[in-house]
């Protein structure tokens, strides 16, 4: 069992425009109304980097910035864990198209945005951070993998960790074989010790064997949870929004899962 504390939350998705706006919806106090994800370039980035930022960069920086602003933590002193099932899916499609035709000339911007840790690189530029950063990909278990890695770093290293999960749809024809329904991102600032800014304690346990996943009671939010790998974290956000003790389960690889106990501070 690994124990840590949540000090900040970031959220951006369809009909969930930030944690302040989305909290009431996730707590069941307001109706969920689906709407296009409000993507915008972060003002943390210099102008040149803003122009090169694609959808995943915008998602990751938006939710990361919101979580840090809420927590008051210094962006320069926190480790980061970025997790995504695909990375920059638009760029993957574009590069595949270039390589399927002649001449096969991939621009430097496309190339450097194609690597899976591109979001981490942009974040380090924007945040002025030289702290360790991990970038993960675990297909539909990407959120669970990111949370497990973050919990390990908080517990073993005593680090403050910003976990950022994000995904967005592929263009066709890739979308046909790997459907992702909407751009979605979320971030958590996780600390090893409780403080006056702690929102809740999380106890995370890796458990062998399958168990029913915790689902969302609202149909639209459940469709979002199923349709976007990063949105597998919605039940955790819902528990945090509700402000009551909760126990949730999130599926992991090979018929394993994570048990997460949420205790408000």
As a whole number of angstroms, the distance between CA 105 and CA 115 comes to 17
Residue 111's pLDDT is what?
Answer: 81
The answer to whether the beta carbons of residues 168 and 180 sit under 8 Å apart is yes
For 117-128, give one letter per residue: b (16+ CB within 10 A) or e: bbbbbbbbebbe
Q: What's the rounded Cα separation, in Å, for the pair 197 and 195?
A: 5
pLDDT for 164 equals 98
d(CA 89, CA 114): 9
Q: What per-residue confidence (pLDDT) applies to 254?
A: 82
**pLDDT score, position 264:** 97
Q: What is the pLDDT of residue 190?
A: 98
Q: What is the pLDDT of residue 78?
A: 96
pLDDT at 50: 81
Q: What pLDDT is attached to residue 231?
A: 98
- What is the CA angle 69-233-229, rounded to 5? 115
Q: How far apart are CA 8 and CA 74, in angstroms?
A: 12
All structural domains of the chain, each given as residue ranges with its CATH number in brackets, are 2-264 (3.40.47.10)
User: What is the reported pLDDT for 52?
Assistant: 79
Token code pair at residue 217: 């009671």
Question: pLDDT value at position 113?
Answer: 81
Q: What are the pLDDT tens digits along the chain (265 aa)?
A: 899 999 999 999 999 999 999 999 999 999 999 999 999 888 888 887 787 788 999 999 999 999 999 999 999 999 999 999 999 999 988 888 898 988 888 888 888 788 899 999 989 989 999 999 999 999 999 999 999 999 999 999 999 999 999 999 999 999 999 999 999 999 999 999 999 999 999 999 999 998 899 999 999 999 999 999 999 999 999 999 999 999 999 999 888 999 999 999 9
């Amino acid at each position: 069992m690994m124990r840590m504390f949540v000090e900040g939350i970031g959220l951006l998705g369809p009909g969930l425009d930030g944690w302040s706006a989305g909290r009431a919806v996730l707590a069941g106090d307001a109706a969920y109304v689906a709407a296009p994800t409000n993507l915008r370039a972060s003002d943390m980035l210099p102008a040149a980097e803003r122009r090169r930022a694609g959808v995943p960069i915008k998602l990751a920086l938006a939710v990361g910035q919101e979580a840090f602003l809420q927590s008051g933590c210094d962006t320069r002193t926190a480790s980061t864990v970025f997790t995504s099932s695909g990375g920059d899916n638009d760029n993957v499609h574009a590069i595949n198209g270039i390589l399927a035709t002649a001449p096969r000339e991939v621009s430097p911007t496309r190339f450097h945005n194609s690597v899976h840790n591109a979001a981490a690189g942009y974040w380090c530029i924007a945040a002025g951070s030289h702290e360790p950063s991990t970038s993960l990909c675990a297909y539909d278990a990407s959120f669970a993998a990111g949370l497990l890695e973050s919990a390990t770093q908080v517990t073993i290293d005593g680090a403050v960790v910003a976990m950022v999960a994000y995904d967005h749809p592929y263009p066709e024809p890739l979308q046909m074989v790997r459907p992702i329904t909407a751009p979605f991102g979320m971030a958590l600032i996780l600390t090893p010790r409780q403080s006056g800014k702690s929102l809740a304690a999380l106890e995370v346990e890796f458990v062998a064997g399958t168990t029913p996943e915790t689902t969302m009671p609202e149909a639209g939010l459940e469709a979002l949870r199923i349709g976007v790998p990063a949105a597998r974290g919605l039940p955790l956000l819902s528990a945090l929004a509700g402000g009551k003790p909760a126990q949730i389960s999130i599926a992991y690889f090979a018929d394993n899962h994570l048990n997460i106990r949420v205790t408000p501070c």
